[in-house]
Amino acid sequence: MTSRTLILLSLLVLAGCQSVKEISGLGPEAKTRIGQLRYATRSRSVVGDIVLRNLSRGDYDLSFLKSGVPLLEFQTRGSHMTATGLFIRTGWSGELAHAPRSLRPWAMLGEVLPYFDTNVPSAQNPGRWSATFERKGGMLLRADVEFSGHSTMGFSFGQ
C-alpha cells in the first residue's frame, strides 16, 4: 500500500512540473532526424535518443530521451523557446537570449542547425560555438558541436 501511494504521489508531482504551455507543432514540411546525442558539461555526460525536427526558416523541436524518459524537450519559434524535462525541472519559457545558463547551449543550437543541411565540413561563431560535420553521400551522419562554457553535443544519425 505504501509503495502505491508513493508512486501515485510521484506521478502527481511530475505532472505538476509541466507548467509551461506547449507551442504548436511544426507541420509536415519539417525535416526529421532521429539518432543519438551525447551531451557533456564539466560535471556530467549523458547519452540518449534524440528526435530533431526543423524548418529551413529556423524553427525547431528537439526531444532528448534516456530510456524513454524525457531529459529535455524544447521548441523554438522565432526568438522564443519553451523547454520541459528533467534537465529543467519546472520548465522554462521565454526569449532565447534570456535562457537560463543550463539551457544556453540548447538555445544556441538554432545557430548551428542550418549547417546540418549544407556540405561544409565545419562552421563556427567565434566566442559562441564551433562545429564539425561528417557526411556520406550528402547525408549528415555526425555533428560535433562545442559551445562556449565548455559543453558539447555529439549528434549521430543513422545512414
Question: pLDDT tens digit string along 70-107?
Answer: 999 999 999 999 999 998 888 999 999 999 988 999 99
C-alpha cell of residue 103 = 539551457
User: Counting beta carbons within 10 angstroms of the beta carbon of residue 147, is it exposed (0 to 12), middle (13 to 18) or buried (19 or more)?
Assistant: buried
Residues recorded for the chain: 159
The pLDDT of 56-70, averaged and rounded, is: 90
Domain containing 116 — which CATH number?
A: 2.50.20.10
Residue numbers of the domain that contains 43: 2-157
C-alpha cell of residue 22 = 506547449
Q: How many domains does the chain have?
A: 1
Question: pLDDT tens digit string along 83-92?
Answer: 999 988 889 9
pLDDT at residue 14 tops 70: no
